[in-house]
Amino acid sequence: MKDVCIKITSTQSVEDTGDKDTTELFTYGSMEPIKNGFRLGYDESETTGFQGSHVTLEVFSDRVTMQRKGKAVSSLIIERGKKHHCHYGTEYGDFMIGISTNEIRSCLTDKGGDIYLKYTLDINSSYMSENEMFINVTECGAPNA
């Protein structure tokens, strides 16, 4: 397992209104190789609204899973060409969301790299938004090291 710097840029677009919202998160985390992929882990911050939670991403060529544990609990599966119904927890309550994935690109190596995800979200089969996420992972020292 190695210390990494993680930059996540997420864009959410709503077709009906034309609204587009982009957020960026810079954080320290860990990365380790697993069979056919990589596992990333990081702690959420006050900025994300999920402070007190830990996120684990498992990244494969055609699938990314996200587990959030702690203050908020979520379990998401983003898989190319498939729709998954997943549990999404917030401090305001839990609900089920549908995730239909259009594209996944992962160029992770032992030294870091990039992940690109493009997917559509729905709640109770009602369209919510189009989403794009760029994740950049680089080697770095642990904070306060």
Q: SS3 for 78?
A: strand
List, in order, residues 6 or more apart from 80 with CB less than 8 Å away. 62, 63, 101, 103, 104
Structural domain includes residue 145: no
> What pTM value is reported for the model?
0.87
| DSSP code for 109 | B
As a whole number, mean pLDDT of residues 18-45 equals 91
How buried is residue 34: exposed, middle or buried, by Cβ count under 10 Å (0-12/13-18/19+)? Answer: exposed
Write out the residue range of the structural domain in which residue 37 sits. 2-139
CATH, residue 27: 2.40.128.20
Answer yes or no: is pLDDT of 121 > 70. yes
| DSSP code for 82 | -
Note the pLDDT of residue 93. 78
Structural domain includes residue 144: no
Note the pLDDT of residue 114. 97
With contact defined as beta carbons under 8 Å apart, do 2 and 32 qualify? yes
| Total tally of structural domains belonging to the chain | 1
